[in-house]
Structure 1
Amino acid sequence: MWSGNGQALFTAECSHKFHFHCISSSVRHGNLVCPICRAVWKELPFQGPLPAADANNGTARVNPLDWPLDDRQQRQQQRVSGARRRSRADSVTRQWQLPVYRSLNGGGVFDDDEQLDLQPENVVQSQDDVDAMVVGSVGITTYTAFPAMEESVAQEEFAILIHLKAPSSPAPATSRRAPVDLVCVLDVSWSMAGTKLALLKRAVGFVIRTLGPSDRLSVVTFSSAARRLFPLKRMTEAGRQRALQKVNSLVADGGTNIADALKKATRVMEDRWERNPVCSIVLLSDGRDTYSVPAPLGGGQTDYSVLVPSSLLPGGAAQHVQVHAFGFGADHDSPAMHSIAEMSGGTFSFIDAAGSIQDAFAQCIGGLLSVVAQELRLSVECDDDGVLLSSLISGGYASHVDGDGRGGFIDVGDLYADEERDFLVTVRVPAARGESALITPSCTYRNTVTMETRSQTLQPAEVVMATMSRSSPALVASPSRLAASPPPRRRSVRPTWSFPGRH
């Protein structure tokens, strides 16, 4: 909604537009429904005086029905004296003065996230706390295709399996983990009406009750257009109750605009004042985007990249924010949801039965609440002269082999507690005698609890060069970790997690 030389327009949450002065007059007389489609409005045009905090920039004030109206003003005053406050000169400059409007979308910038808990339950207070929380480091193990090779015979592609294992979760007695920023993107189109919507509300309610007071949640709903139901709010007892009220008030209507929903959810993450260590977007839809995906030309493949904001892609401002997509029912667009998850580094899950929504959400949230390592990079360096790296079979994870073949890396990203990953490396081994050191694997990552950057290096993987015939048992692959391991691939489903009940 903008003002200029003409008349200001008000765009309602049902996407219908009206002259601001006309519709605000109607609202003053008690008409709280859309004159066109009769949808009940929760966001109303407001003609009161402009709040002092917004007098200079004219931004629309946020008026969540269940949150105090001055919530953001109080936090802004607290932040003025904070050491980490940045200048808002760019965000307060506006080309036009906006009409006053109370909107949950908060104007053009979603910077109204609730302040983080200054002393959360998982803050490290002493070295004893560190020792209690840090259960171990990421483990690295190598398995060679054969324990020995025929001496004086070169191998062009000798296979080595690198096995990663994440440390366990912190001890239950510490009750400490990395807090989460989560945006749930929910389809409320007409096809979700009835039982589907009821089950969705119950599943999101489970998520709300699972999150702790240091975690923050925002909900974006979409049908023909997307809207933010409420900003990132801490899930304290009061925050949970207010969030449940908002979610339980949802109604289903309209089409399916996934692109607009992901755009808003990404802005929530990008515009945050403060950031929890772990962040993610969870998307659920039972249909196909009917607004943004172009029809393929000449029988070609559909371009689903239009659904994913560019900032979520590698190199973007929100590249570390993964989208975990859930396709619900037989009519959802499986290729689209899979593409969204793959491009953002997230996972895709298919929910075939209505009653499985909560279980699927439980697995996903359980994983997010147990992230123990972030931004993990596995590096491989060749040791002996003549040993060259042929390939890194990373199964969808970004990888690179140096031009001289002497090294490379795989960007693994996040690891959950006790999660295991396998990667296959092939090297060229020159003809030699005695023992040959092939590769030295190492990894660097950030511990999500202590926020320290850690590194782990393994002893070189070696192979013995021996005099033997080609029928020697040492040259025959035995049932080993290498033989039994499936081809590496990017994680697509979550492990099963259990949750303690809340009392």
Structure 2
Amino acid sequence: MDGQAVPSVMQLSTFTKVTSIPREKSYREFPVMVRVKAPEMTVHQHSPVDIVAVIDVSWSMGWDDKYGKEPNDRLILVKKAMAKVIKNLAGAQNRLAVVAFDHEIKKSTELLEMNDKGQQSALETVNGLTPFGRTTFSIGLKEAAKILDKRAAREKDRLAFIIFLSDGDDPEFTKEDIPPAYPIHAFGFSADHDPKALQDMANLTMGSYTPINKDLEKITEKLDQLSEKLVSIVAVNTVIHLKTMHSGVFLSKIESSSANDAVVSYKSRLADGKQSGEIIVGDVSSGKEMEFTVYLDVPECQGNCTDGAMELLTVGGVYKQSWDQKQVELSKSVLTVERPASCKELDWIEQRVEYWCKVKLDLSAMYDKVCGGNGDESNCQCQDLQALRETSLEAINQAMRNDIYTATLHAIKLRHCGGAVAAETEKSPLEPVQPAKAV
């Protein structure tokens, strides 16, 4: 029905390993994990993609590399890897164009649908590449952008990407040479490539950067993983919204926590005096998840916690379904942290031990004062006091054991300040035992 909310297939969750903060304490860079995950989905719920493979064919691509099991021509490895990419793009109306460059364009094809004929044509183009000149990154990138820009209006909704493959560097390359409209997934292989330039390509376009400095045989594996990811994207333009729930809570910084060989780019920004922000995630593929750590500066509770807890952060977001471009809202959640009173339970136990030691010392001092510390057995008063002293010590020891045992049980119950503590728990619920009066 028109106007009806579309249920989200994406999962957004928040959690933190730190479950409580003592109310009298502040916490700088309190870590909150934010995770967005796409479920496994069928091919019918994926959008067809247009990919331009930009391949460096400069003279260094003909070098043998000694890091692998055997010396290998770098371009031969790229050809093998591209064969895997072409196979993964088969069907679902996916399209591929190939651009080969050194200091000029050596080969450029149109976007070919990856049916049997298109796959065969793409393979022949890739296998026919040979290394020759010097490396000029901007030449290949501009040609790729031109191919994607000239698509018909009805094709502009298709997902489009650039895969950039190079083993070299270009001293004249700048950020201004990067076409911003399409995500660039850059692969740099051998220790000779320029990591900064390729990282800039990824960062400015929400793409990724994968360095392969050793064991260049991994080029096939990494390109295989990337192409499978690109043809299974289910969410695009994914954005996570963050808003603090307390006037004294501020966003400190945001970091990616996802473990991946590729450096996947994302963008984040803070606003409203660091009390709101967003994480621009971009594309999420079927069955994949992305995790971020949001750091908060949390103040002392100062008596304004509700039932010993504080609401810190609300997390929500939006994305578009790749197959129909419908915008969907991610489920919103509120992160709450316990704010118990300071952990005074162990102090209470120590104070009780000190108290009972003082009671016993006072009893001994009273006996020594009357009997002069000699313990004169012939003095009847001293004999009576000695008996009274022994009886009193026995009673004091029994009371001390009961008192300390009760305090210890209470400390265990509070689970080292991790459980909920009533707001009125500002002092020990166990009042000090009053010392017995001397008789």
**In structure 2, the residue corresponding to 1:170 is in which secondary structure?**
coil
Question: Structure with the greater relative contact order (CA < 8 A, sep ≥ 6): 1 or 2?
Answer: 2
2:11 and 2:331 in contact (8 A); partners too:
no
Deviations 1:195-230 (A, max 9, x none): 322222222122112213311111111012125521
Deviations 1:416-474 (A, max 9, x none): 22223122230434422323222210011111123211112333111233334267755
Counterpart for residue 221 of structure 2: 359
Letter in 1 for 2:32: L
TM-score by length of 2: 0.66
1:166 and 1:372 in contact (8 A); partners too:
no
Query: Which of 134, 137, 152 is the matching residue for 2:9?
Result: 137
1:169 and 1:370 in contact (8 A); partners too:
no
Deviations 1:275-302 (A, max 9, x none): 3532211111112226x34xxxxxxxxx
1:376 and 1:414 in contact (8 A); partners too:
yes
Letter in 2 for 1:419: E
Letter in 1 for 2:88: T
Counterpart for residue 243 of structure 2: 381
How far did 1:240 drift?
1.1
2:162 and 2:183 in contact (8 A); partners too:
yes
**In structure 2, the residue corresponding to 1:459 is in which secondary structure?**
strand
Counterpart for residue 161 of structure 2: 280
Counterpart for residue 254 of structure 2: 393
Counterpart for residue 189 of structure 2: 328
Query: Which of 260, 266, 272 is the matching residue for 1:403?
Result: 272
1:443 aligns with 2:324: no
1:183 and 1:280 in contact (8 A); partners too:
yes
**In structure 2, the residue corresponding to 1:280 is in which secondary structure?**
strand
Q: Please state which structure has a larger fraction of its residues in helix.
A: 2
Counterpart for residue 234 of structure 1: 113
**In structure 2, the residue corresponding to 1:148 is in which secondary structure?**
coil
How far did 1:156 drift?
5.3
1:17-166 alignment, distance < 5 Å: 137-144=9-16, 146-151=18-23, 153=24, 155=26, 157=28, 159-166=30-37
2:188 and 2:194 in contact (8 A); partners too:
yes
Query: Which structure's CA Rg is the greater one?
Result: 2
Compared with structure 1, are the counterparts of its residues 379 and 260 closer, same or farther at alpha carbon in structure 2 (3 Å cutoff)? same
1:421 aligns with 2:271: no
Letter in 2 for 1:204: M
C-alpha distance in 2 between matches for 1:223 and 1:149 = 58
In structure 1, list runs of 5 or more residues that go unmatched.
1-133, 294-303, 313-317, 478-503
Compared with structure 1, are the counterparts of its residues 381 and 176 closer, same or farther at alpha carbon in structure 2 (3 Å cutoff)? closer
TM-score by length of 1: 0.58
1:135 and 1:168 in contact (8 A); partners too:
no
1:190 aligns with 2:64: no
1:140 and 1:165 in contact (8 A); partners too:
yes
Identity of aligned residues (%): 26
Compared with structure 1, are the counterparts of its residues 196 and 399 closer, same or farther at alpha carbon in structure 2 (3 Å cutoff)? closer
Query: Which of 211, 216, 219 is the matching residue for 1:350?
Result: 211
1:466 aligns with 2:340: yes
Compared with structure 1, are the counterparts of its residues 459 and 346 closer, same or farther at alpha carbon in structure 2 (3 Å cutoff)? closer
How far did 1:159 drift?
1.6
In structure 2, list runs of 5 or more residues that go unmatched.
1-5, 64-72, 257-264, 347-413, 420-439
Counterpart for residue 233 of structure 2: 371
How far did 1:233 drift?
1.6
Which shows bigger deviation, 359-368 or 349-358? 349-358
C-alpha distance in 2 between matches for 1:233 and 1:425 = 46
How far did 1:406 drift?
3.5
**In structure 1, the residue corresponding to 2:109 is in which secondary structure?**
strand
Compared with structure 1, are the counterparts of its residues 282 and 442 closer, same or farther at alpha carbon in structure 2 (3 Å cutoff)? same
Deviations 1:312-341 (A, max 9, x none): 1xxxxx1xx211111122322233223322
**In structure 2, the residue corresponding to 1:466 is in which secondary structure?**
coil
C-alpha distance in 2 between matches for 1:246 and 1:265 = 16
Counterpart for residue 133 of structure 2: 254
**In structure 1, the residue corresponding to 2:41 is in which secondary structure?**
coil
**In structure 1, the residue corresponding to 2:9 is in which secondary structure?**
coil
**In structure 2, the residue corresponding to 1:469 is in which secondary structure?**
coil
Counterpart for residue 41 of structure 2: 170
Letter in 2 for 1:216: R
1:180 aligns with 2:52: no
